[in-house]
Every structure is written in structure tokens, then in C-alpha cells.
């Protein structure tokens, strides 16, 4: 039986056709709310033990925006099941976004290192192909703190060369007006003022259009239904979501 490895989502701005990650997540924060949109494409590769070869497979039913209690989050990167599992663990019973993010870093880093190291040991050539860029995962936690919208963006980066055991460091950014996860090469080609003007005029329409641009330019990496969530001080509202996303 083949083994299925799920890889989902991260490309740096310098896009590469050989990169294996997929997704496009756009987060827009105003003074009163947060609007988040994500595509549904999930990239996997199946390892056939008889042929020792991998085959890429895509799925269009993945829920990239999720929540627990008052904490909302979106994940992008290698071993997305692990990214979601740890997000649920870190956010359980908590309302403090900064605390959740700090706990997430502590919980995820060693487990993500172990997961990536197992992959590296199994197939060093495939590892080199998939991780030409250091980014292995990124995560955004978002919600309201003391009546104000907060977006915390975490990026996880591989710091070691392919011939050494995997080690990972993290970067932390807070309250950017626009946060992009995954494939966003087409979006960043646009003048930032134009991006902001579209978002201010109609954020949901703009987010859908931006994700559509990435789908058109990178159909292997981005596609499927677009889920959209709005969060204000009263709580969250789904503008659109797949039935399987609960």
C-alpha cells in the first residue's frame, strides 16, 4: 500500500514551479473587523513502496480556516494535520491570542522538526525538491483582544542544510493590515495602494478576486471553493464555507 504524505501551503514571494506547497489565504484587518479568505486545494504526494517513486495528488475539500472557542486560526505548510492538531491543543480553554501563539510555537517546533526529519530520512532527494525555500509552515491566529482586532502571524523556517537533521526557527508578526499565507505572487505584483483600495471598497469581493488571480496563475497550487470568515467584536460569521468545515 502506498503512503500518503500531505503537504499544504507555503510559497515565498519568489515562486518556483518545483515547489510542492499549495494554498492562498488572505487576511485583512481593519479597525473594526478581520476578514479571512482561503481556497480549498490540498497537495499530497503518494509514495509507492514498489517503485520508490512519488506521485502528486490534489484535493479540493480542505478546511484551512478553523476556530476553537474565541480563537480563530488559519494554517499553511508541511503536515497540515499536525499544524491543525497543535493549534487546537494550544488554543483549548484560552482567550489570550498572544498566549496561544506562544504556546503554539513551543508545542509545534519539536514536533514539526521530527515530522520533517522523518521525511528527510525517507527520501533526501524529494526533501531537497520540496524545500528549496526555507519556509516550512506559517500560521495566523486572529480574533479580538480588549475590543480590538488582533492578527498574529507565525512563520516557521528550516535553518539547516538538507544533509543535516532538521532544525526550525520561528518568526512572529502582529497586526499587519494585510497578511498573506501560501501562494501570493500575483497579489504582491499589484501596487500595495491598489490592494488596499480594493479591500477597503469591498473586502470579500477583493479577497475572492485575489485568490482567483492566484488560481489562474498557479492552478496546481490554488483552487477549489473559497471559504470566507468575518470576525468582529460580537463574534465570527461565515460568509461562505464548505459543508465539511462544520
Distance of alpha carbon 239 from alpha carbon 222, whole angstroms = 20
pLDDT at 122: 86
What is the residue extent of each domain of the chain? 3-228
| pLDDT score of 19 | 37
The three cell numbers of residue 24 are 492562498
Write down the mean pLDDT value for the chain: 88
Phi-psi region of 69 (alpha: psi -120 to 50; beta: other; left: phi over 0): left
What architecture is the 3-228 domain classified under in CATH? 4-Layer Sandwich (3.60)
* Structure confidence at residue 227 (pLDDT): 98
Those residues of the chain that have pLDDT short of 70 are 1-21, 45-46, 48, 53-55
110: left (phi over 0), alpha (psi -120 to 50) or beta: alpha
Amino acid at each position: 500500500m502506498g503512503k500518503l504524505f500531505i503537504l499544504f501551503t507555503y510559497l515565498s514571494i519568489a515562486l518556483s514551479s518545483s515547489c510542492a506547497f499549495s494554498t492562498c489565504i488572505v487576511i485583512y484587518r481593519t479597525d473594526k473587523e478581520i476578514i479571512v479568505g482561503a481556497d480549498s486545494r490540498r497537495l499530497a504526494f503518494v509514495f509507492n513502496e514498489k517503485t520508490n517513486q512519488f506521485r502528486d495528488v490534489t484535493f479540493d475539500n480542505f478546511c484551512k480556516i478553523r476556530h476553537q472557542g474565541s480563537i480563530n486560526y488559519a494554517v499553511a505548510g508541511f503536515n497540515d494535520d499536525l499544524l491543525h492538531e497543535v493549534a487546537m491543543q494550544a488554543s483549548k480553554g484560552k482567550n489570550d491570542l498572544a498566549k496561544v501563539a506562544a504556546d503554539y510555537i513551543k508545542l509545534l517546533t519539536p514536533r514539526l522538526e521530527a515530522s520533517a526529519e522523518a521525511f528527510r530520512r525517507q527520501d533526501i532527494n524529494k526533501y531537497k525538491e520540496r524545500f528549496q525555500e526555507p519556509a516550512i509552515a506559517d500560521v495566523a491566529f486572529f480574533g479580538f483582544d480588549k475590543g480590538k482586532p488582533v492578527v498574529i502571524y507565525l512563520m516557521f523556517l528550516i535553518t539547516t542544510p538538507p544533509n543535516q537533521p532538521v532544525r526550525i526557527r520561528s518568526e512572529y508578526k502582529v497586526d499587519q493590515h494585510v497578511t498573506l499565507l501560501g501562494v501570493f505572487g500575483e497579489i504582491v505584483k499589484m501596487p500595495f495602494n491598489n490592494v488596499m483600495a480594493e479591500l477597503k471598497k469591498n473586502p470579500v469581493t477583493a479577497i475572492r478576486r485575489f485568490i482567483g488571480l492566484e488560481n489562474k496563475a498557479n492552478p496546481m497550487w490554488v483552487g477549489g471553493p473559497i471559504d470566507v470568515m468575518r470576525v468582529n467584536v460580537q463574534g465570527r460569521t461565515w460568509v461562505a464555507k464548505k459543508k465539511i468545515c462544520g
